[in-house]
């Protein structure tokens, strides 16, 4: 089920009313059981066969954490933790990376003229596997580190791992923050539900109006870069920067809003990252739940910034390479991660004081350029795109022609106005979310804003596309 689909719309309305009725009349356990079953229905709607995987992963982590807590002996605790790490990473490795590693190995052997005949398996990537395995993994590691007590309530734990608002694309929640919320009885709260709806409205606006419309242009240029000038490819890459942001931040806002309507507080995943003045700041504001996950469970255990400069830089680079690999089993993602890692290292070394708007612009341009390998379908496609930018900057169709090939002039003019409005709102939001910002506005302004967003969705929304979010593939 995808948030911007009719199926989810019906599912959520039914779930919402039933949830609050059950929550009022029944115990927390029964409410959690209802959440669990509904979340499994939500996930199984995509492919029920992978429900077993979700159940297996969560069960292993639940049992492992209980055993870790029971044991005082450090060596034994470490050994038990390894079961969780191997099972989670093993699942991820098999479903996400098996073909990639086999293919890469074969290519390597071919380079040395060693012929190998192999057939890779046709493995379907279960939606959200990267997200829920990381969430479950952080729980066992926290229990191991004694930062968290193991859950004694299997229903609450399974509901925590499979909680449908954030199951398939995050935010990757820490058990310390989210799990205790499953132990408390929820009371229906009017302001909280309105807050949730506000975030959902903003999320849908980001996704349906901004991301889906930009996607048309990006797809057009990226699918046939040879027909467009390098300038158009650059322009499409800038559009992709906003597309991926609005797609993912939109998803996160809908997820956080949905959870809020059910009385759950999820963590903020984006803090207007394109207004960052440095790369370090960008990573503090972009996909925060993943960045902090890598910081706490990869970078710091590797030694963090405790060792020499070289060691710190290596740790940083490795963390970003792994982060790139987390996004997908392809060299383009590894390249993307590596380049970001190198930028962060450079950012630490080179400190030039620039006016904030210049540094913001600079950071945005570089980040947008780095989205090119991320968006490219493979290394060959990446070379094609780079070739257009470097060698044919002015030959081929111009950005204007690319724009007009997907929409009429009038639609683009209105879209541009809405887009400027969107940037201004984001500028005002800075480190707070849309809900908090809207609450600061006076009622008439706030209500007008809601209607503007709603009418923008209706008038500019692209309803003719298959419901899809970019981060589902990860």
Q: Measuring CA to CA, how many Å separate 392 from each of 231, 235, 347?
A: 8, 14, 31
Nearer to other proteins, 200 or 344 (CB): 200
Is residue 455 near other proteins by the rule CB under 8 A? yes
Nearer to other proteins, 394 or 464 (CB): 464
The two tokens of residue 69 are: 């807590």
110 labelled catalytic: no
What DSSP designation does 209 have?
A: I
Nearer to other proteins, 17 or 86 (CB): 17
- Binding other proteins by CB under 8 A: which of 28, 197, 314, 465? 197
**Residues 15 to 34 in contact with other proteins, rule: CB under 8 A:** 17, 20
Distance CA 316, CA 294 (A): 10
Distance CA 301, CA 200 (A): 36
Q: How far is the CB of 206 from other proteins (least distance, A)?
A: 18
Q: Integer distance in angstroms from the first to the last C-alpha of the chain? A: 16
Q: Tell whether the torsion through CA atoms of 349, 354, 359 and 365 is positive or negative.
A: negative
Tell me which of 110, 152, 287, 327 is the catalytic residue.
327
127-147: b or e for each residue (b if 16 or more CB lie within 10 Å)?
A: bbbbbbbbbbbbbbbbbbeee
The two tokens of residue 10 are: 């019906």
Binding mask 150-189 for other proteins (x = CB under 8 A): --------------------------------------x-
- Binding other proteins by CB under 8 A: which of 407, 436, 465, 468? 407
Nearer to other proteins, 8 or 270 (CB): 8
Is residue 118 near other proteins by the rule CB under 8 A? no
Q: Which stretch binds other proteins (CB under 8 A): 126-134, 224-232, 358-366, 461-469?
A: 461-469
Nearer to other proteins, 250 or 461 (CB): 461
Is residue 45 near other proteins by the rule CB under 8 A? no
Is residue 362 near other proteins by the rule CB under 8 A? no
- Binding other proteins by CB under 8 A: which of 104, 411, 432, 436? 411
**Residue 469 · residue 2 · CB < 8 Å:** yes
Cis bond upstream, residue 171 (ω within 30) = yes
Largest CA distance in the chain: 72
- Binding other proteins by CB under 8 A: which of 450, 465, 467, 468? 450
Nearer to other proteins, 193 or 300 (CB): 193
Residue 397's DSSP bridge partners are 228
Is residue 451 near other proteins by the rule CB under 8 A? yes
Any residues with CB less than 8 A from the CB of 84 and at least 6 apart, and which?
60, 61, 64, 65, 136, 137, 140, 141
Total interface residues for other proteins by CB under 8 A: 26
Smallest CA-to-CA distance from 89 within 337, 349, 298, 360 is with 298
Q: How far is the CB of 41 from other proteins (least distance, A)?
A: 16
Is residue 454 near other proteins by the rule CB under 8 A? yes
Distance CA 354, CA 351 (A): 9
Is residue 410 near other proteins by the rule CB under 8 A? yes
The two tokens of residue 124 are: 């379907």
Q: How far is the CB of 124 from other proteins (least distance, A)?
A: 26
Any residues with CB less than 8 A from the CB of 114 and at least 6 apart, and which?
none
Give me the active site residues, please.
327
Where do contacts with other proteins occur on this chain (CB under 8 A)?
Answer: 6, 9-10, 17, 20, 188, 190, 193-194, 197, 407-411, 414, 450-451, 454-455, 458-461, 463-464
């Amino acid at each position: 089920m995808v948030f911007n689909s009719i199926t989810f719309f019906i599912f959520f309305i039914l779930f919402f009313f039933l949830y609050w009725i059950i929550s009022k009349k029944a115990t927390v356990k029964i409410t959690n059981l209802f959440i669990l079953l509904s979340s499994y229905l939500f996930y199984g709607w995509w492919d029920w066969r992978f429900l077993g995987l979700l159940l297996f992963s969560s069960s292993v982590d639940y049992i492992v954490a209980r055993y870790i807590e029971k044991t005082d002996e450090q060596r034994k605790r470490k050994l038990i933790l390894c079961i969780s790490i191997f099972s989670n990473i093993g699942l991820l490795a098999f479903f996400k990376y098996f073909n990639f590693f086999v293919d890469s190995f074969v290519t390597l052997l071919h380079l040395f003229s060693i012929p190998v005949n192999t057939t890779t398996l046709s493995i379907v990537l279960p939606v959200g596997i990267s997200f829920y395995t990381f969430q479950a993994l952080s729980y066992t590691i926290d229990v191991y580190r004694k930062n968290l007590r193991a859950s004694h309530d299997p229903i609450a734990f399974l509901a925590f791992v499979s909680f449908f608002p954030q199951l398939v694309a995050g935010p990757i929640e820490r058990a310390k923050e989210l799990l205790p919320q499953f132990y408390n009885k929820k009371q229906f709260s009017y302001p909280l539900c309105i807050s949730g709806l506000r975030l959902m409205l903003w999320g849908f606006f980001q996704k349906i109006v901004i991301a889906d419309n930009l996607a048309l242009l990006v797809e057009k240029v990226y699918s046939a870069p040879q027909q467009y000038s390098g300038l158009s490819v650059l322009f499409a890459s800038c559009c992709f920067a906003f597309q991926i942001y609005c797609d993912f931040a939109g998803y996160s806002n809908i997820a956080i809003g949905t959870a809020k309507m059910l009385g759950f507080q999820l963590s903020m995943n984006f803090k207007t990252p394109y207004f960052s003045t440095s790369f370090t700041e960008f990573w503090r504001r972009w996909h925060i739940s993943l960045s902090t996950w890598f910081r706490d469970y990869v970078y710091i255990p590797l030694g963090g910034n405790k060792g020499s400069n070289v060691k710190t830089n290596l740790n940083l680079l490795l963390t970003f390479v792994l982060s790139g690999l987390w996004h997908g089993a392809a060299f383009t993602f590894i390249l993307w991660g590596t380049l970001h890692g190198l930028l962060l290292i450079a950012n630490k070394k080179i400190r030039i004081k620039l006016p904030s708007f210049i540094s913001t612009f600079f950071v945005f341009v570089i980040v947008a350029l780095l989205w090119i390998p991320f968006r490219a379908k493979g290394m060959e496609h990446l070379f094609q795109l780079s070739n257009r930018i470097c060698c044919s900057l002015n030959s081929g169709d111009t950005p204007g022609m690319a724009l007009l090939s997907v929409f009429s002039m009038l639609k683009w003019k209105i879209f541009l106005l809405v887009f400027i409005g969107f940037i201004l709102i984001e500028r005002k939001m800075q480190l707070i979310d849309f809900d908090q910002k809207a609450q600061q506005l006076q009622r008439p302004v706030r209500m007008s804003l809601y209607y503007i967003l709603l009418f923008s969705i209706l008038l500019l929304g692209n309803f003719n596309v298959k419901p899809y979010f970019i981060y589902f593939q990860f």
